[in-house]
Amino acid sequence: MNPIEQLVTYLSYPFVVNALLVGVLVALCASLLGTTLVMKRLSFIGDGLSHVAFGAYAVAAVAGITHDMLIIAPMTVIAAVLLLKRGQSAKVKGDAAITMMAVTALAAGYLIMNVFGTRSNVSGDVCSTLFGSTSVLTLTPFDVAVCAVMSVIVVSCFVLLYNRVFAVTFDEAFAQASGLPVGRYNLAIAVMIALVIVVGMNLVGALLLSALVVFPALAAMRVCRTFRNVTIVAACIGVACALVGMLASILAGTPVGSTIVMCDALAFGLFCLIERAREGRGA
C-alpha cells in the first residue's frame, strides 16, 4: 500500500480525524498567544506552566479522577495568574520564578505518581504525558469538544481585542497610562495560555509544549516586521507544522509530539535561511 492509500485508509478512522482537528486548533491558539509571550520575553512561561500541568496531572491520576482536566485546568490557570501578575515588585522575578515553580511541580508530580500511584506502569504513563507519543490519537469526544470551545474563545478574544493586546505587548506602561486595564488583559492572556497548555499536553506532551508557543513566532519574526504580519505568519507556520508533523508521524509510526516539534524547528531554520538570503541581497 503506497503512502497516499495508507493515509486515506487512516483518515477513515474517527480518532485520526479528531487528532488532526485538535492538533490544528491547539497549534493555532499556541502560535497566536506565543507571539505576545515572545515579545514580552516570557517565552519560558509555556515550559513552566506545562510542568505545573504535569504535576496537576499526577494528582488527578492518583486521585483516580476520570476527567483529569477538572484538576489540571484550575491548577495551571492559578499558576499562570501567579506568574504573570507578580509584576515588578516581586522578590523573585521572571525566569527564576518560572524555573522554581516548574521544577517543583515536575518533581512533585513524579514523586506523587511513584509513591501513591496505583497503575502498573508508572514510567509509561509519565513518558506518555511528558512526550505525548500517542495521546492525541486516544482523545475522547469530550476532549475534542473542550478543545474546540477553547479555540473559539482564544481566537475570538485575540481578534476582538487585537489593538489592546498590541498595546499591552509593546508598551505596558504607556498602555496603563492611557487608561487600559493592563492587569485584566495580562490576566486574560494568562488564563488563555494556561488553557492552551492543558489541551496541548495531549498533543506534544508537557516537555515539548513550549515549542508550539515559541517556534512559530520566532520563525515569523525572521521575515516579518509588523506585529500583525508576525501574528498571521506565526499562526500559518504553527498550523502547517502541526499538520505536517502529525501526518508524517501517523504514516511513519514516529512519536507525534517529537515529530511536530522537529517540523517546527526545521521551519525556524528555513526562515532563518530566508532572512539571511534577504540580507545578502539587500547588502
Partner 1 sequence: MSVQKLVFGAVLVVALVGLPGCAGNDRRDALSTQQGVAEVLQQQTEAQDAQGQATGQEYADAQQQSETPKKEFVGDAAPAFEQVDIDLTSMNADMVYATVYDMMANPAAYEGKTVRMTGPYYYTYYEPTAAIYYYVLIKDAMACCSQGLEFVWGDGSHALDEYPENGTEVIVTGTFKPYREGETLYVHLVGASLEAA
Q: What residue ranges bind partner 1 (CB under 8 A)?
A: 1, 6, 10, 13-16, 121, 123-124, 127-128, 133-134, 137-138, 140, 249-256
Q: At what angle do helices 182-204 and 256-282 cross, to 10 degrees?
A: 120
Distance from C-alpha of 35 to C-alpha of 216, rounded to nearest angstrom: 8
CA distances from 140 to 11, 143, 144 (A): 17, 5, 7
Judged by beta carbon, residue 74 or residue 124, the one nearer partner 1 is 124
User: For residues 64 and 253, which CB has a smaller minimum distance to partner 1 in the complex?
Assistant: 253
Q: Closest distance between partner 1 and the C-beta of residue 138, in Å?
A: 5
Residue 156 CB, nearest approach to partner 1 (Å): 31
Q: How far is the CB of 256 from partner 1 (least distance, A)?
A: 7
Query: How distant, in Å, are the alpha carbons of 31, 46, 66, 81 from that of 191?
Result: 15, 12, 23, 7
In angstroms, give the least distance from the CB of 84 to partner 1.
35
Query: In the complex with partner 1, which residue's Cβ is closer, 127 or 272?
Result: 127
Residue number, 38 or 250, with CB nearest to partner 1: 250
- Sign, CA dihedral 160-26-199-50, equals negative
What is the nearest approach in angstroms of partner 1 to the Cβ of residue 121?
5
Q: Is the CB of 90 or the CB of 251 nearer to partner 1?
A: 251
Q: How many CB atoms lie within 10 A of CB 87?
A: 11
Which residues, at least 6 apart from 93, have a Cβ–Cβ distance to it below 8 Å? 86
CA nearest 67: which of 193, 199, 164?
199
Return d(Cα 30, Cα 20) in angstroms, integer.
15
Residue with smaller CB distance to partner 1, 134 or 176: 134
Shortest Cβ 56–partner 1 spacing (Å): 22
